[in-house]
Amino acid sequence: MTTELLQQVRVIDPVSETDQIADVLITDGNIQAVASQITDISPDIQIRDCRGLVLGPGLVDLYSHASEPGFEERETISSLLQAAVAGGFTRISILPDTSPVIDHPALVAQLQRRGGERISRHNNLPQLNIWGAVTLEIAGKQLTELTDLAQAGVVGFSDGIPWENLGLVRRVLEYLQPMDKLIAFWPSDRQLATNGVMREGSDAIRLGLSPIPATAETSAIAALLELVAAIGNTHVHIMRVSTARSVDLIAAAKTAGLPITASTTWMHLLLDTKAIKSYHTSLHLAPPLGNPSDLAALRTAVRTGVIDAIAIDHAPYTYEEKVQAFAEAPPGAIGLELALPLLWQHLVETGEFTAGELWRSLSTRPAECLKQQPSVIAPHQKAELTLFDPQQNWKVERQNLYTLSSNTPWFGQQLQGRVVQIWC
């Protein structure tokens, strides 16, 4: 039996809405006690001085890209799980855009087995959630066997790409009603987006990059919300929200009682179009970074709960894939190991977010979006925890990353804040 005492750690628990300095006693993966001071200490207890450290519920990622099977040179299940540990995540959810696409129960079982093998060999790895594909081929027209995939244990359904066939969207919403399974959509009108690579506005004109109007997203969200209202009870998650007008539409839909949740990605909360002046290809994202007004609206929406959660959308690519012209490079960036330090540094340390607001949007609310029980820091609860040092300095370089890829605009830079340990 292993017992450890975390002394005088800053405990942030969004469920109980507490932010306090306390001692936390953990025995064999279970929380035994949380108190202002624990004095009854036996000689075999491992004591850790945690002054200056932050302890919160384990972080939960809504959606990221695994790359295995099919693109193992970018990432493997093993490296993905290790990167998640280093970033403080105790649950990670992978999208089905692998090769082959995760459109059959056998593929779900194969990935579950691979994840289980890693966890059996390495204690303390995150829970692996798997999204099932909605169509047999990405952007296809034939639905997968949704019931079979649901019985195989997928966390929900998503193709992770924009849909063009609203008739098929309506059918999926109808089919999923009796299953009580989540479906996630990335709303974007491809005809409006065309071949754009940057949010429409003055910065796009100045940089000479093809623009994507905000209406490419907002018109698709409006159409999706109309279908959700018509169908009724299917739980829909709106992925990758990136514009101020989208926030308004989602707020109105929630006020009307529609069964929706929404997320934005961590990079859309940190950067806007002005950052693209560097032409760094890791700033080529889908959807693109918003204008300054979009960024401000997204931050407010996360704080107020209009946007439920922050997703990482970890998208690894090889060096060769990203060393191209900005418009030619595939969109996406890594983030599992970087999100918490950078969000804490730029949102909490500046006073724009409270520590609880940020932690809630990275832990308990993503779990709730996935219809999972969020972890709680309380006696007699399982220890699903993240210990974070907001003052530790480190450099983003190859030897300090567990992910196999390095496509990030912060590569080579010094960061403040790093995860010390997770329990899961």
Query: Looking at the domain assignment, is residue 136 inside a domain?
Result: yes
What domain range includes position 294? 56-70+89-375
CA–CA distance, 365 with 401 (Å, rounded to integer): 27
Query: Looking at the domain assignment, is residue 412 inside a domain?
Result: no
Over residues 47-82, the pLDDT tens digits come to 999 999 999 999 999 999 999 999 999 999 999 999
Over residues 336-377, the pLDDT tens digits come to 999 999 999 999 999 999 999 999 999 999 999 999 999 999
Query: Looking at the domain assignment, is residue 76 inside a domain?
Result: no
Query: Looking at the domain assignment, is residue 31 inside a domain?
Result: no
pLDDT of res. 122:
67
Cβ neighbour number for residue 404 with a 10 Å cutoff = 20
Query: Looking at the domain assignment, is residue 9 inside a domain?
Result: no
Query: Looking at the domain assignment, is residue 309 inside a domain?
Result: yes
pLDDT of res. 180:
84
* CATH (domain of 371): 3.20.20.140
pLDDT > 70: percent of the chain: 97
pLDDT of res. 120:
62
CA–CA distance, 300 with 307 (Å, rounded to integer): 9
Query: Looking at the domain assignment, is residue 17 inside a domain?
Result: no
User: Binning pLDDT at 50, 70 and 90, where does residue 194 land?
Assistant: very high
CA–CA distance, 273 with 289 (Å, rounded to integer): 6
Q: What is the mean pLDDT of residues 267-272?
A: 98
- Active site residue ranges: 313
pLDDT > 90: percent of the chain: 89
> Do the beta carbons of residue 24 and residue 49 sit within 8 Å?
no
CA–CA distance, 108 with 106 (Å, rounded to integer): 5
- pTM over cut 0.75: yes
| CA 298 to mean position of chain CA atoms | 15
Structurally, the chain folds into a number of domains equal to 1
Mean pLDDT of the chain: 95
Query: Looking at the domain assignment, is residue 269 inside a domain?
Result: yes
Over residues 304-325, the pLDDT tens digits come to 999 999 999 999 999 999 999 9
